[in-house]
Amino acid sequence: MQFHKLISFVFHPIIIPITSSLLYFILIPNHIPKGVSYRVLGFIFLITYIIPIVLLFVLRKVKLIEDYHLVSIQERKFPIVFFTILSFLLGNLLLKTGVVNLLAYSFFGSSLALGIVYSLFYINIKTSLHTLAIAGLIGLIMVISITYEFNLLLLLIFLFILIGIVATSRLQLKAHTLPEVVIGFFVGILTQLTMYYFYII
């Protein structure tokens, strides 16, 4: 059980946006100045990691959430709305730079995915954010592979194995049911591919 808790902690959804962004800059052709890359990564880290942690800390202080695991649907509602808006605004800001459009559309995909997660609350479905986040990363890697015609098969195989391990851990911890884990996977990957479609047309 400790192993499953460790997996859930190490691959927490909050670290995936900065991980995805870092991989984006590592994998794409070297046409963006390093100074610009570092500033963009720093900004993304602030928006997607520091601000959410501060928000969760404040929500717990004012007793709107019991703990940082956001177990109940009611506890998840405000953070999901906040992260949905945050991802959309971040995508807009990145799009305005004109140098990381693909990454910007990835954040639009994240915003769409979280919007779907929120809408599913109304039919009492609590989607796995762990599988959604890693599936979103898989979708982004697919998009990079297609756009730049890179063979990223080994990385994708690794990520598919990883999402299997993470999904198993969430099930073993009884944090989610199998349908919630599967929904997280499909929502995460399909929203990334959907946004890529809008990017290329």
pLDDT in tens, 151-188: 999 999 999 999 999 999 999 998 899 999 999 999 99
The answer on pLDDT for 67 being more than 80 is no
Angle at the Cα of 35 from the Cα atoms of 29 and 37, rounded to 5 degrees = 45
Q: What is the pLDDT of residues 136-153, one digit of tens each?
A: 999 999 999 999 999 999
Query: What's the domain range around 42?
Result: 2-200
CA 41/CA 67 separation, integer angstroms = 28
CA 193/CA 138 separation, integer angstroms = 10
pLDDT at position 38 is 93
How many domains does the structure of the chain reveal?
1
Q: Evaluate whether 176 touches 8 at the Cβ level (below 8 Å).
A: no
CA 10/CA 2 separation, integer angstroms = 12
The predicted model scores a pTM of 0.93
3-state secondary structure of 177: coil
CA 99/CA 154 separation, integer angstroms = 27
**Cα atoms found within 13 Å of the Cα of residue 133, Cβ hemisphere only:** 24
Q: What is the pLDDT of residues 110-142, one digit of tens each?
A: 999 999 999 999 999 999 999 999 999 999 999
